[in-house]
A and B are shown apart, each in its own frame.
Chain A
Amino acid sequence: MPTKSYVRTTRLLLVLIIFFFLSSFFPYFTFSQTSSNCIETSIGTIPKDASGGCSQQCDIQAPNDLQTIKTGLLADGIIITGDELDIPNATEVYNTWCLLKKSSKYLQLLGAKSDPIEVRFKHTYESQGSHAFPCAGFSSAVIKPRFIELYGAQGSACATYRLDFLIAHELGHQIRFKNPDIYNKWYSTAYNPSFPTWNCQKDYGPGPWPEECFPDMIAEYVFYKKWEMFTEPPQPFLEMKTTYLTMYTFTRDNIFGGTEY
C-alpha cells in the first residue's frame, strides 16, 4: 500500500503536469498572457474589468498635487514643464497617459522610459514668431530630450477633450519618428486621406498631410467614443470602426497591440 505522503505527492505532480500540458496548448492559461495587457507602473495599477480583462477607461484618480503627478510621470519617462504648467494641465497629461499606457505595445514603440519625452506647456510658439496659438501643438525628436509643446492649453479654447486629443496626437508624432517602418507600412496599406480630421481630409484643412494624418488616427483611436475632431459640442466618431475600419484595425494591431478603448 502506498503511503499517504506518496499519494499526496503523486496527486500534486499530476495536477502540475495537467496544468503545464494545458498551458502549452492554450496560451490564456499562462501567467505572462493574462498579465500582458494590464500594466502596473509608477502611477498605479490599471484595474481589470468584471470579465478579468483590462478596463476600457482609466480609473486611476490623478493626485491633486503637481509634484506627485510630476514624479509619477517622470518614472515613465514623461517630463512635464512649461510656463503654462498647472494642476489642470498636468492632470490631463496624467489622464491621457493613463489610457495610452494600457498598451504595452504603445509603450514599447514610444520608448519613453529609455528615451524620455518632455511635455512643455507654453503660452506662445516662438518658432512661429511668438504667436499665441490657442490649443495647438508641436512635436520634435531632433534634439534631446525629444519634446512635445502644447500652446495655449490654459485658454478657454482648449477644453479637456481637445487637450487630451492634442497630447495623444503630439505623442503620435513621436511614435512615427521612432518607428518609420510602421509609418511606411501604414502609408502603403492603410492611409486614407479622406479621414475626416483637419490634417487628413482636404476639405477640412490644408492637408491631406500623411505625417499629420498618422497622429490624428492614433488620437482618434483612443478618443473616438468622445470626440470627432473639431465637432462642437463634442460628438463621438463612430465611423472610426465602420467607414475607417482599415485605419482602426491598423492602429489597434500595429500601435496598440490589440488594446481597445
Chain B
Amino acid sequence: MKKTIIFIALLFFLTVLLLLLFFSNKKNSNQAKVLPTPTSLTVPLSQKNQSKNLQPGIATIQDVKKVYGNPTKIETKKDFTINYYTLPNTWRQDKIYIKDNIVLYTSKEQLSDNTLYKDFIIQNNKQPDGLLFDLREAGGEAKWYIFSKDGIAFFADPLPSGYTFQTITFPPMSYQVFLKNVAPEFSLYQTQSEAVSVDANNPQVK
C-alpha cells in the first residue's frame, strides 16, 4: 500500500513538471510570434504622434513649439524655414516647414510598424492622385502615394502591405499644383529614372 502511494505521488510530481515545462515552452514560442499592432488612421497618423498632428495652413509656430519643443536645427530657405526635430533612438528627423509663422508642410518619419497607407485607402475609399519616386526607393518597392486633395502623401510599400515609412502633410491642392510646388521640396520625381540616374554602360548590382 505504502509503495503504491509513493509510486502515485512520484507520477503526479512528474506530470506536474511535464505540464510546467510544456507551458513554459509555449509561452516562449508565443513571445517570439508577437506582432506589433498596426496603427489606425481613423484617429491619428500614429497613436504616439497623436499630439503631433499639426495641420498645415492652420497650425502656428507656437503650436509647433508646444508639440515638439525646440528644434535640433533650423534651416532658412528663400520663402520659409525648416525646423528639424531629432526623434528618440534614431538619426531620423521630423521636419516642419514654416512660412509667415504658419505651418506650410510637415514631414514625419514613421518609426513604428504601421499600415497607414492601406488604412487611409480603406477608410476613405480613395485611390492616390499620383505616384512619385525618390532616391531612397532605388532598388526597393516603396513609392510616394500622393493624395493631393486630401493634403497627405505616404512613402509606403505597395498594397496589400501598405507599410508606411514616412508621411508628408500639406494644404489640400490639385495634383498639378502639388507637382509644381511641393514635390520639388521633397525631391520627388515622376519617373524612376529621374530619381536614379542609371548609367547603362556601367554594370552594377541593383
Chain B associates with chain A: yes
Say yes or no: A21 contacts B205, CB within 8 Å: no
Which residue of chain A has the shortest Cβ distance to B4 in the bound complex? A6
**B124 in the interface, Cβ–Cβ < 8 Å?**
no
Say yes or no: A134 contacts B198, CB within 8 Å: no
With beta carbons under 8 angstroms apart, the residue of B7, B138, B203 that contacts A209 is B138
Say yes or no: B14 contacts A133, CB within 8 Å: no
**A52 in the interface, Cβ–Cβ < 8 Å?**
no
Taking residues whose C-beta sits less than 8 angstroms from the other chain, chain A's interface range is 35 or more
Known: A32-B25, A211-B138. A184 touches B3 (CB 8 A): no
Instruction: Give the segment of B64-72, B96-104, B155-163, B182-190 that binds chain A.
Output: B155-163
Which residue of chain B has the shortest Cβ distance to A219 in the bound complex? B205
Report A5-48 residues with CB < 8 Å from chain B CB: 6, 9-10, 13-14, 16-17, 20-21, 23-24, 30, 32
With beta carbons under 8 angstroms apart, the residue of B3, B13, B138 that contacts A17 is B13
Distance from A72 Cβ to chain B, minimum over Cβ atoms (Å): 26
Say yes or no: B204 contacts A205, CB within 8 Å: yes
Looking at chain A's contact residues, the main secondary structure is helix
Report A152-200 residues with CB < 8 Å from chain B CB: 157, 166, 169, 173, 176-177, 180-181, 184, 187-189, 191, 198-199
Cα of A199 to Cα of B139 in the assembled complex, Å? 10
With beta carbons under 8 angstroms apart, the residue of A13, A137, A184, A187 that contacts B206 is A137
**B34 in the interface, Cβ–Cβ < 8 Å?**
no
Known: A13-B11, A24-B21, A30-B25. A184 touches B204 (CB 8 A): no
**A136 in the interface, Cβ–Cβ < 8 Å?**
yes
Say yes or no: A20 contacts B163, CB within 8 Å: no
Known: A13-B14, A17-B13, A188-B92. A199 touches B141 (CB 8 A): no
Residues in B whose Cβ lies below 8 Å from that of A216:
205
Known: A24-B17, A24-B20, A181-B113. A169 touches B205 (CB 8 A): yes
Residues in A whose Cβ lies below 8 Å from that of B11:
13
Cα of A206 to Cα of B142 in the assembled complex, Å? 19
Cα of A11 to Cα of B30 in the assembled complex, Å? 35
* Residues in chain A within 8 A of chain B (CB atoms): 2, 6, 9-10, 13-14, 16-17, 20-21, 23-24, 30, 32, 128-129, 131, 133-139, 141-142, 157, 166, 169, 173, 176-177, 180-181, 184, 187-189, 191, 198-199, 205-207, 209-212, 215-216, 229
* Residues in chain B within 8 A of chain A (CB atoms): 3, 6-7, 10-11, 13-14, 17-18, 20-21, 24-25, 36, 89-92, 109-111, 113, 135-142, 157-158, 161, 163, 165, 196-200, 203-206
- In the complex, the 6 A-B pairs of residues with the closest C-beta atoms, listed nearest first: A211-B140, A180-B163, A188-B90, A211-B139, A212-B139, A209-B138
